[in-house]
Structure 1
Amino acid sequence: MSLSISAKYYLYTGMLLLSGVVLPGCVRGQLGKDNSDQYYNGMVVCAYPDAAQAGLTILKKGGNAVDAAVAVQFALAVTLPEAGNIGGGGFMVYRSAKGKTSTLDFREKAAAAASANMYLDSSGNVIPNMSLATHQASGVPGSVDGMIQAHKKYGKLKWTELLEPAIALARGFKVTKRLANDLNRNAADFAARNPGKKYFLKDTQWQEGDILVQEDLARTLELIRDKGRAGFYEGTVADMLVAEMKSGNGLMTKQDLKDYRSVWRKPIIGKYKDYKIITMPPPSSGGIALLQLLRSVEKYPLSNWGYNKDSTVQVIVEAERRVYADRSKYLGDPDFFKVPVDSLLKPSYIDGRMQSFNWAAATPSTSIQPGNFAGYESDQTTHFSIVDKEGNAVSITTTLNGSFGSKIVVNGAGFLLNNEMDDFSSKPGTPNMYGLIGGKANSIQPGKRMLSSMTPTIVEKDGKLLLVVGTPGGSTIITSVFQTILNVIEFNKSMQTAVDAKRFHHQWLPDNVSAEAGALDSVTLEILTKKGYKINVGTTIGRVDAILVTPWGYYQGGADPRGDDTKLGW
């Protein structure tokens, strides 16, 4: 008798249960859940359905995870203009089917003419919106070079094939209800910041099902397809970008574009119990912060306490408070600042930071400062996760910073400029748009990469791929990835359930807990409030896209319902 795949799944599961075997957490959570969401040839999870389809098409053509990632990145630049981009930058974490890992830093850089005090007035105060809504807000874009370098090292299909889906989409695709609402909500800013241009504007309100045509962007993508790096960083597109900069007193020059290069960096690798965490090093703050958070809560019985119960929430909040304090002082571009990676990740240091935690009351953030080491000298974003048939995995988070970046479109080239310069510390101690505090480590310098919270991550169990995860969300990225990992490992949730789960966030300053509606029940809210925690309920946190590998080799996706996020597999 020949059994179907699903029959084998239930037979094997039943045999384990009858024999008294306790299934690992990631398996227990899957029983009876997401049974139709099991694919073994590959999976793409990203923020827009058309982009997910572009990636799946490449996988079905015989492309690998990196090939599909290139197709998804460029498709998102078309279909998700609030975050997908060719005018921004990001990070990639890669794990081959054989377990080899690497990370690619294609974060934007400050122009050569940038300076530490460029956003301050004559009195030394930050000029409102200058780092957000002007031509001076943009760093030198890295996304195109990043995709070229990733493909050069790991790609399988021809470069020209990978851009075809995005080019076709740029010539017309149907907008979702969410995108229509976003375009309508930002129409006034598009008009004000792009005089004489009509990008993303129409005479009537955008409606679900309308066709968005971006012909200028299609021609830009064709140049990138045909000329590779030179199609963006030189020639016609570079001329248009520099002309756009000059029209608004921007700093970026042809030399800045020509000089830009992505950087391959050594992954940050750590352990949480029996799990191996592979994540992004600086200038991402996410990898170090994630490992600090995991170590901070590792000794506590979270699974016994339960998902989002008062003790669980209290420990997580106190860990987040201390980790974000460290972030404010010690993290920046490692090419410009000596980041104390080993000291920050030393178990004794992290354990020591948690010793001031008191069960009876919230620790005021005013009493928490960045830690000290002996001898040390001193959202809008999108994420996608892809796994191919062989088991190669890619976790990529990419960004324009604010929604639609600076909302300034390069005339003639059709793509949005980022406003990533706001991720620098314009002035030590002054919060950026996400309320994050920074210091000297993240000060503005020519050619420097700004600090980021992006946390693309891959998790292994027993030497095998387990989880590919990441999210947009500005300062909440780190905590969303952290909580999603705990949802799988500690709370036995299936991938989709782990992504759906309500989240909360604390970032040291301001000293309050942000929680999604329904994240904390009334009893938990009462207990924590009485202990002095200030809790704001109602915000939406993150849009996690993730893939879980089951013990039977199936890929199980989690596409965040908070957006148009889509999971496709075969």
Structure 2
Amino acid sequence: MSIRLVPYYCLLGFALAVASCKTQSPTTTTADTKVKQSQGVYQYRDEDPTIKPFFSDRVGVTGRNGMVASAHPEASQVGLAILKAGGNAVDAAVAVQFALAVVYPGAGNIGGGGFMVYRDNAGKAYSLDYREKAPGRATQNMYLDSLGNVRPGLSISGHLASGVPGSVDGMVEAHKRFGKLTWAQVLQPAIDLASKGFPLTERDALGLSRIKTDLNTINPGKVYFLKSAVPTDTVSWHKGDLLIQTDLAKTLQRIQAQGRAGFYEGETARLLAEEMVRGKGLITEEDLKNYHSIWRDPILAAYKNYNVITMPPTSSGGIALVQMMRFTEPYPLRKWGWNRDSTVQVMIEAERRVYADRAKFLGDPDFVKVPATQLMSPEYLRTRWTDFSWAKATDSRAVRGGTIPGYESLETTHFSVVDKEGNAVSITTTLNGGYGSRVVIGGAGFFMNNEMDDFSIKPGSPNMYGLIGNQANAIAPHKRMLSSMTPTILEKDGKLFMVVGTPGGSTIMTSVYQTILNVIEHGMTMQQSVNALKFHHQWLPDKTIFENGAFSSTTIETLKSRGYILEQLSNTLGRMDCVLVRPDGSYEGASDPRADNTARGY
């Protein structure tokens, strides 16, 4: 059965929040400082009126018959073409997944894995876990030296960093169960892009040029993703250059002709296993043959008059999202205003507690007991909030995962698709770090993941995103590593309302959380919510990072006076790709202006 929860405020009520507001009277300035929507732009009235809380003024794409929002314009166009050809949302999603493996090699993949949340037009919800697995020869201490210290880099780059890929099996399973067009039809666009090539965007060119040293070091003698046919060449790519991937096209053709067996058996499996032997990796042909994605019951949780449909473990994102929304549900965020001091303080404290719980409790449910229902229950959340204080920031050193009786102890891509019948797909898929382990499979032409770093390679030791893990997420043969990916679908009054998700490593959960609240609580359009500047706290390290302009000077001063450590980023947070059902029934596609993300609808 799905994990279904009644609204938090129905059980807990507003007593806790209201009492806290009355008795401690936060020194918020939001009573006098309103954040308004004027011609689609929110402005700070009491400060510089030219300040906008948006990364850009991009306007959303609208359509009535279907919408695709993904990380790359070529992939979004593929998805739209599939919808126009009579395909449904799952057909389009499968086509987009494979297209991204060609045009967005930094995160799109067949050498990685991911999660899918699907809601059909009758309101039935499903979730598919095609997360990678540890190889059969993996061991708990495989990245530690003889003294028990972490051996730097082994879980991040090179052959030993890769888990058994799940993306192809996941797409086969999704299409087999829900697809409408033929398998050959949904694979063909990706094959065409790989064999004929596509012009690189400026971001594509910069990314591939940036990793050319790693490509030469980790893949000696190979020329994959290098501009020149000379393996040691250092020539850079430029916008408009044509990237042709002949070996990848052949790999995709085998998948097209043989389905699952075209990847997990035969020629591709042989090439992958030989590559692992060459680089002292662990994945074998037996590991590939034995890999299978798994259908899991999605988390179904109410928030006011909305229903949240999200991913259960092995994702940590679904539980974390529900926890954060329930922590803040009793508070009048709309009244306080977007990113004002009290709004931000409540959200930071929610994020702090959620990430501490993640470290203690969450892992692969096929290996460890994950107390999902208890973690999201009003009673548990109430106990987690008892040390909240308006006067000062909670010290993360004093925060640990909560107590549950009987319990034993940043590069990804997302896309959202809705078809004309109202079927909706939310998929987040990844290689983990940008371009994964940087290993390219000889003869097959695709990048492998570095997902082994998402395990807790040593309890208490941070991974590449700074996330702390514990025994629940320790390495074990055939175990799925914990993920922050949070593909989510929302209903309003029982009808499809929003499809949302993002890449971003440890920041995924907080970006999805803020994007949803921006629409529900702050009245933004879908695109405004995506454009809106964001912040993030993850328990440890004990600091809040934020995009330039996300907080007004008044908010910064107030939070600092309460002991919050704030750090402005030089880069950005999130790469959202979302779809919103507007009141008239049309779709608004919102793609993130921070990158090449593109929405296409008709």
Which TM-score applies when normalising by structure 1? 0.94
Q: Deviations over 1:207-262 (max 9, x none)?
A: 11000111000000000001100100001100000000000111111110000000
The DSSP-based 3-state class of the residue aligned with 1:356 is coil
In the alignment, what sits opposite 1:396? 427
Structure 1 residue 190 corresponds to structure 2 residue 215: yes
CA contact (8 A) 1:30 1:493 kept: no
How many Å separate the matches in 1 of 2:79 and 2:413?
A: 15
In the alignment, what sits opposite 2:145? 121
In the alignment, what sits opposite 2:489? 458
Code of the aligned partner of 1:179: D
In the alignment, what sits opposite 1:438? 469
The DSSP-based 3-state class of the residue aligned with 2:446 is coil
In the alignment, what sits opposite 1:327? 358
Displacement of 1:551 in angstroms is: 1.8
How many Å separate the matches in 2 of 1:534 and 1:81?
A: 36
Code of the aligned partner of 1:135: H
Structure 1 residue 294 corresponds to structure 2 residue 325: yes
Q: Deviations over 1:475-521 (max 9, x none)?
A: 00000000000000000000100000000000000000010111111
Displacement of 1:38 in angstroms is: 2.5
In the alignment, what sits opposite 1:169? 193
Structure 1 residue 384 corresponds to structure 2 residue 429: no
1:200 corresponds, among 225, 230, 248, to 225
The DSSP-based 3-state class of the residue aligned with 1:271 is strand
Structure 1 residue 544 corresponds to structure 2 residue 576: yes
Displacement of 1:523 in angstroms is: 1.0
Q: Deviations over 1:2-41 (max 9, x none)?
A: xxxxxxxxxxxxxxxxxxxxxxxxxx97987998833110
Displacement of 1:343 in angstroms is: 1.0
Code of the aligned partner of 1:347: P
CA contact (8 A) 2:191 2:253 kept: yes
Task: Give the direction of change, closer, same or farther, for the CA distance of 1:35–1:209 in structure 2 (3 Å limit).
Answer: closer
Structure 1 segments, 4+ long, off by >4 Å, are: 28-36
In the alignment, what sits opposite 1:4? none
The DSSP-based 3-state class of the residue aligned with 1:148 is helix
Matches within 5 A, 1:347-386: 347-386=378-417
Matches within 5 A, 1:260-279: 260-279=291-310
The DSSP-based 3-state class of the residue aligned with 1:355 is coil
How many Å separate the matches in 2 of 1:36 and 1:559?
A: 7
CA contact (8 A) 1:108 1:140 kept: yes
Q: Which runs of 5 or more structure 2 residues have no equivalent in the other structure?
A: 1-35, 42-57, 229-234
The DSSP-based 3-state class of the residue aligned with 2:491 is strand
In the alignment, what sits opposite 2:45? none
How many Å separate the matches in 1 of 2:40 and 2:279?
A: 57
In the alignment, what sits opposite 1:493? 524
CA contact (8 A) 1:29 1:494 kept: no
How many Å separate the matches in 2 of 1:434 and 1:550?
A: 36
1:554 corresponds, among 570, 583, 586, to 586
Q: Which runs of 5 or more structure 1 residues have no equivalent in the other structure?
A: 1-27
CA contact (8 A) 2:116 2:425 kept: yes
1:420 corresponds, among 451, 454, 472, to 451
The DSSP-based 3-state class of the residue aligned with 2:432 is coil
CA RMSD between the two structures: 1.3
Displacement of 1:378 in angstroms is: 2.2
How many Å separate the matches in 2 of 1:222 and 1:92?
A: 24
Code of the aligned partner of 2:458: K
Structure 1 residue 178 corresponds to structure 2 residue 207: no
Percent of paired sites with the same residue: 61
How many Å separate the matches in 2 of 1:479 and 1:35?
A: 23
How many Å separate the matches in 2 of 1:451 and 1:61?
A: 37
Structure 1 residue 239 corresponds to structure 2 residue 270: yes
The DSSP-based 3-state class of the residue aligned with 2:115 is strand
2:106 corresponds, among 68, 73, 82, to 82
**Deviating more after overlay: 209-218 vs 28-37:** 28-37
Code of the aligned partner of 2:171: M
How many Å separate the matches in 1 of 2:337 and 2:240?
A: 42
How many Å separate the matches in 1 of 2:166 and 2:304?
A: 35
In the alignment, what sits opposite 2:20? none
In the alignment, what sits opposite 1:9? none
Code of the aligned partner of 2:215: F
Task: Give the direction of change, closer, same or farther, for the CA distance of 1:447–1:195 in structure 2 (3 Å limit).
Answer: same
CA contact (8 A) 1:384 1:545 kept: yes
Matches within 5 A, 1:304-319: 304-319=335-350
How many Å separate the matches in 2 of 1:248 and 1:231?
A: 23
CA contact (8 A) 1:543 1:563 kept: yes
The DSSP-based 3-state class of the residue aligned with 2:385 is helix
Displacement of 1:351 in angstroms is: 2.0
Code of the aligned partner of 2:185: E
CA contact (8 A) 1:66 1:155 kept: yes
How many Å separate the matches in 2 of 1:36 and 1:543?
A: 15
How many Å separate the matches in 2 of 1:77 and 1:534?
A: 39
Q: Deviations over 1:58-94 (max 9, x none)?
A: 0000000000001000000000000000000000000
Displacement of 1:379 in angstroms is: 1.4
How many Å separate the matches in 2 of 1:173 and 1:415?
A: 16
Code of the aligned partner of 1:112: G
How many Å separate the matches in 2 of 1:436 and 1:66?
A: 32
Displacement of 1:308 in angstroms is: 0.6
CA contact (8 A) 1:30 1:494 kept: no
